[in-house]
Structure 1
């Protein structure tokens, strides 16, 4: 259970950092659908780096991205 929580935390922090970097560069915000696509691409094209993301169910990972998207929409 701790491992799954750590993986969820890792996904959240990865995409939060990505959003912050995009914001600091003046790039537009990535929507939930864009983050979801990026998640799938990263997981499939870099299995050696993101292999641990596969341990978490895809619906749970997508829920994390949805919550991040909701938080950004409420803030901005």
Structure 2
């Protein structure tokens, strides 16, 4: 049986791919709140699963991804 933490990893994967798809095909603008929230929460989901499995490369790239999303959210909100 899969660990419950797997749900976070799968959510992260789906969220980031969904955001990329929606942006690439014109459904979401990169400056939209939902786009950046999908990127932020998706990256955090992948960070969680990467940390639990001690796989550090995806963890590092997704920490950076999340930081970028936070800065983008700050720009959008303020």
TM-score, structure 2 normalization: 0.39
For CA contacts below 8 A with separation 6 or more, give which structure has more relative contact order. Answer: 1
